[in-house]
Chain A
């Protein structure tokens, strides 16, 4: 039973560039949530996808966008990267009817230079 997977593991980008991060949910899960965790801080909710639509959004600018595919996998896109976007990006999957049990992937470490 595959757990939550994320790619890539690490990524280095330059200010102003765009980045796409990918997440495959745990087998059987239909809901994907994304979190940003700055170094030494707690994770912050970015948004959640279910049935290929954004269902909830945290306090993040429109530069952060996402997508969910029919197979429930998801992408997080960040445009016009800022130094402050450097963080660990965590994906969590769950079942819509049991959203409390969120399983996290290993994360993607993004560094913006």
Chain B
């Protein structure tokens, strides 16, 4: 990837469990975003965290950002089968284009 990696590449969990995905990037950023993509469809914006923020919450989502380590994590709590999707982090690398990570494929079993 131009910007970074996501870990794990794939994750399978049971409903009700928490899912954690990690993203590492290479350059300085203004902000980092997380997107969700259902099987080959468009990207849905989940949450944006700015470079001067360390943690952000939105419903069952919790995002952290560590600019010193150039890394971010996305936590989905109490997962549901409907959370099954691919999750991508995206950074701006101080530009106005998005550079995506390699993605994590999440499978939540009922």
Contact in complex: A45, B97 (CB < 8 Å) = yes
Main SS of the interface on chain A? Answer: strand
> How far, in Å, is B32 (CB) from chain A's closest CB?
10
Cβ of A102 under 8 Å from chain B: yes
Main SS of the interface on chain B? Answer: loop
In this complex, the member of A102, A105, A107 whose beta carbon has the largest number of chain B beta carbons within 10 angstroms is A102
Cβ of A104 under 8 Å from chain B: yes
- Bound form: Cα–Cα A39–B1 in Å: 14
> How far, in Å, is A78 (CB) from chain B's closest CB?
19
Cβ of B98 under 8 Å from chain A: yes
Contact in complex: B42, A90 (CB < 8 Å) = yes
Pick the interface stretch among B14-22, B64-72, B100-108.
Answer: B100-108
Of the residues B41, B95, B103, contact of A107 by C-beta under 8 Å:
B41
Known: A42-B1, A106-B42, A107-B41. A56 touches B95 (CB 8 A): yes
Per-residue CB contact flags for chain B residues 1-36 toward chain A (1 = under 8 Å, else 0) read 110000000000000000000000000001101010
Report, as a range, how many residues of chain A touch the other chain: 20 to 34
Name the A residues within 8 Å of B48 (CB-CB).
Answer: 100-101
Known: A106-B42, A107-B42, A109-B40. A100 touches B100 (CB 8 A): no
Interface size on B, residues (CB 8 A): 24
> How far, in Å, is A36 (CB) from chain B's closest CB?
11
- Bound form: Cα–Cα A48–B99 in Å: 13
Name the B residues within 8 Å of A92 (CB-CB).
Answer: 43, 98
Of the residues B2, B88, B96, contact of A48 by C-beta under 8 Å:
B96
Cβ of A8 under 8 Å from chain B: no
Q: A33-B97, A56-B96 are in contact. List 14 more A-B contacts (CB 8 A).
A: A31-B96, A41-B102, A42-B100, A48-B97, A55-B96, A56-B95, A92-B43, A92-B98, A100-B30, A101-B45, A102-B45, A104-B43, A104-B45, A107-B41
Chain B positions near chain A (C-beta within 8 angstroms) = 1-2, 30-31, 33, 35, 40-45, 48, 88, 92, 95-103
